[in-house]
């Protein structure tokens, strides 16, 4: 057998017997680690691949826990506007669009 298949077989059997993974899931995990280059000759995971604390990132691709990750994206302060572009909460924003109503005088 080739070195690649020996590495994969050793790691798959370890995942199934010791860690209790299902066969298909163990095969998928082993192939992912092999693609990353994380398996040694005897089927163990390399030390550089075990350390996952450094690789955690937030949604925007920055390091998790950093100040730039916690900050919300976009401009810092902006006035909120209604649908017609007027300042939200103002009287002209609350009024319905269209011609003004005339009240009848008695």
pLDDT tens track for 48-99: 888 665 567 776 677 777 777 776 666 666 677 777 777 777 777 777 767 7
Q: pLDDT digit string (tens) for 9-38?
A: 999 999 999 999 999 999 999 999 999 899
Distance, in Å, from the CA atom of 46 to the CA atom of 69, rounded to the nearest integer, reads: 29
For the chain, where are the E strands, in sequence order?
none
Q: What is the pLDDT of residue 12?
A: 94
Q: What is the pLDDT of residue 52?
A: 60
Q: What is the pLDDT of residue 31?
A: 93
Q: Where are the domains of the chain?
A: 1-46
The single residue listed with the structure tokens 């006035």 is 79
Q: Check: CB of residue 70 under 8 Å from CB of residue 76.
A: no
Q: What is the pLDDT of residue 106?
A: 65
Q: What is the pLDDT of residue 20?
A: 92
Q: What is the pLDDT of residue 74?
A: 67
Question: Phi then psi for 55, rounded to 5 degrees?
Answer: -95, 5
pTM of the entire predicted model: 0.48
């Amino acid at each position: 057998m080739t070195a690649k298949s020996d590495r994969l077989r050793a790691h798959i059997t370890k995942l199934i017997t010791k860690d209790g993974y299902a066969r298909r899931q163990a095969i998928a995990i082993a192939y992912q680690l092999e693609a990353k280059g994380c398996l040694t000759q005897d089927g163990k995971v390399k030390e550089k691949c075990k350390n996952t604390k450094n690789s955690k990132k937030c949604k925007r691709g920055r390091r998790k826990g950093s100040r730039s990750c916690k900050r919300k994206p976009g401009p810092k302060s902006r006035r909120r506007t209604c649908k017609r572009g007027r300042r939200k909460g103002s009287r002209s924003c609350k009024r319905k669009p269209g011609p003004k109503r005339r009240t009848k005088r008695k």
